[in-house]
């Protein structure tokens, strides 16, 4: 044997002895920690972010245990990210540091808002794409971005191995879960590859809810003969309006609601002696959106999704929406009510840079005048004190804060009834937010950059699996998601069983600032945590199963 070989063998033996001594000196007991693909039990030997498994070696003399260390996060990754509307965020946020330390990564958010169409378009035109992103107002969808070479595909095996929580949701929601973002085979069948990671959302959620001026209803002689539950508000901003919004299960018959729209227009409901009020806003016939679903829904038609097919009662045929007799009946009703002035289209010539389109700012500006009696309001913003750039322009608070009518009262009810009546199954109203829990499109897809390796994607999926699988009050994940009680939020009652009031962002100390967009949340049911008014709405909304109306 040569001297070089002897030296090499001696060196390997020495290194082995050193590592054995280090492993023995750092052995401690840790509580159970579960990570996708890796489970650490209390009896095993671990170090921070390291899983140690027991390996048995048998000799003629005895059986001994030798530690073999496996670190699932040994490889360090830099991960670029876009998932926020906040372009002023500076790296090093509270949640960012927690995740970076736990998963051995460097999260690098880009200063591009998901709600900035121009900024996103310029970024994509330059060929730039972050590793992980959802680009709500992107000019290209997931398929188009892949065709431009900006993104990569995700194979279902990645979900099985690193995101089993998500894979179980796919199985629970088949076959529609496979439709979204799927790369179809040549024969049209589903493949195992996806253009992006589809959102999973609460498919019992109402996008818009009917809201009417209760004080106007009382002034024109309409009473609600049903229980009305007041919404309690205790936050500093809107607390003085506590008890001025109600929720009820009562549904106005179709003819009664038509008369209400008339009276809101002709009977001076605000009592100022002037002819300056009207029932509600309606859109042009060629405008199709979730914001039209309540109007169209009176006649059993869905405005926001053209893929629905309908059984026409007159012929028995299965037809698309534009050939359905319900759509014809809706148009006849809408034209009649518009011609009478009870419902009106938005003023023409209004221009804004709203990413949704000028119609959005136009609608909110008209609602804020305090001269309209009925609203198809965005349910997530009802009485919401935070996010002022959006919530302050939404009813009911937009009337209190902007129209100078601080005594205005309001009532929310389930749906608009159609001429068919409300029993047994004619509470048409709007459809659920989605027929299935999975979604796609620019607002419902996480994109994975073309240069992201399987190993880097696995790290992100593992992080998301841990975050989505954890209990709501998990010490680590509750801080990542919601922050610290007393700093980022406070409870209106018992912790984890009441509304959450979010601290104004300007009042949070700099070292506690959060990015808030690193964790993709995937759930097919309601969130266990909501702001103060929403927590009260949810108890009735889900408890009374409004989504079935």
Angstrom distance (rounded) from CA 67 to CA 52: 7
Number of neighbours of residue 289 by Cβ within 10 angstroms: 16
SS3 annotation, 504-536: CHHHCCHHHCCCCCCCCCCCCCCCCCCEHHHHH
For the chain, the residue count is: 549
Task: Give the chain's largest Cα–Cα span.
Answer: 111
pLDDT given at position 205? 77
Contacts of 406 (CB under 8 A, 6+ apart): 240, 241, 400
Residues in the chain where the model's pLDDT stays below 50: 1-60, 428-429
pLDDT given at position 44? 36
pLDDT given at position 425? 55
Angstrom distance (rounded) from CA 446 to CA 199: 7
Angstrom distance (rounded) from CA 490 to CA 233: 13
**Domain assignments of the chain as residue spans, ordered by start:** 3-70, 209-284+341-431
CA-CA distances (angstroms) from residue 328 to 126, 261, 290, 293, 333?
47, 21, 19, 15, 9
Give counts: helices (H), strands (E), the chain: 17, 22
* pTM: predicted TM-score of the whole model, two decimal places: 0.78
- Structure token digits, residue 262: 């008339």
Q: What is the pLDDT of residues 402-421, one digit of tens each?
A: 998 999 999 999 889 889 88
């Amino acid at each position: 044997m040569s001297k070089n070989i002897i030296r090499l063998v001696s060196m390997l033996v020495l290194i082995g002895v050193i590592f054995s001594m280090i492993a023995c000196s750092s052995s401690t007991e840790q509580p159970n920690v579960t990570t996708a693909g890796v489970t650490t039990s209390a009896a095993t030997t671990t170090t921070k972010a390291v899983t140690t498994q027991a390996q048995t070696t048998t000799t003629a003399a005895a059986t001994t245990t030798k530690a073999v260390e496996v670190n699932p996060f040994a490889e360090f990754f830099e991960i670029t990210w876009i998932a926020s509307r906040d372009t002023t965020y500076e790296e090093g946020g509270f949640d960012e540091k927690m995740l970076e330390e736990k998963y051995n990564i460097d999260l690098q958010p880009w200063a591009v808002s998901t709600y900035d169409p121009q900024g996103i378009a310029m970024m994509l035109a330059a060929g730039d794409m972050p590793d992980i992103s959802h680009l709500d107002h992107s000019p290209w969808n997931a398929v188009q971005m892949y065709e431009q070479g900006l993104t990569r595909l995700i194979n279902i095996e990645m979900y099985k191995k690193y995101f089993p929580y998500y894979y179980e949701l796919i199985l629970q929601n088949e076959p529609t879960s496979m439709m979204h973002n799927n790369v179809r085979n040549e024969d049209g069948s589903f493949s195992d590859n996806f253009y992006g990671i589809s959102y999973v959302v609460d498919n019992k959620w109402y996008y818009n809810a009917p809201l009417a001026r209760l004080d106007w209803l009382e002034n024109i002689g309409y009473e609600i003969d049903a229980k009305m539950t007041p919404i309690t508000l205790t936050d500093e901003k809107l607390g003085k309006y506590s008890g001025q919004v109600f929720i009820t299960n009562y549904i106005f018959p179709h003819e009664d609601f038509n008369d209400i729209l008339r009276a809101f227009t002709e009977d001076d409901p605000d009592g100022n002696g002037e002819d300056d009020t009207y029932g509600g806003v309606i859109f042009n016939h060629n405008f199709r959106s979730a914001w039209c679903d309540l109007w169209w829904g009176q006649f059993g038609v869905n405005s926001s999704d053209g893929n629905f097919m309908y059984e026409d009662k007159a012929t028995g045929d299965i037809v698309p929406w534009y050939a359905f007799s319900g759509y014809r009946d809706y148009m006849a009703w809408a034209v009649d009510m518009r011609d009478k002035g009870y419902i009106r289209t938005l003023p023409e010539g209004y221009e804004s840079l709203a990413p949704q389109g000028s119609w959005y700012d136009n609608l909110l500006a008209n609602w804020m005048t305090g001269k309209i009696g009925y609203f198809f309001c965005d349910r997530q913003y009802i009485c919401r004190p935070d996010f002022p750039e959006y919530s302050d322009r939404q009813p009911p608070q937009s009337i209190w804060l902007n129209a100078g009518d601080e005594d205005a009262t309001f009532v929310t009810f389930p749906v608009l009834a159609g001429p068919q009546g409300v029993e047994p199954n004619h509470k048409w109203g709007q459809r659920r937010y989605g027929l299935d829990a999975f979604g796609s499109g620019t607002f419902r897809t996480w994109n994975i950059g073309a240069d992201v390796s399987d190993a880097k994607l696995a790290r992100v999926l593992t992080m998301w699996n841990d975050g989505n699988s954890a209990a709501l009050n998990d010490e680590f994940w509750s801080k990542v998601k919601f922050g610290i009680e007393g700093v980022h939020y406070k409870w209106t009652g018992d912790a984890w069983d009441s509304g959450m009031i979010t601290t104004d962002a300007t009042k949070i100390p700099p070292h506690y600032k959060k990015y808030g967009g690193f964790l993709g949340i995937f759930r097919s049911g309601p969130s266990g945590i909501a702001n103060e008014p929403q927590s009260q709405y949810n108890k009735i909304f889900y408890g009374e199963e409004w989504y079935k109306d």
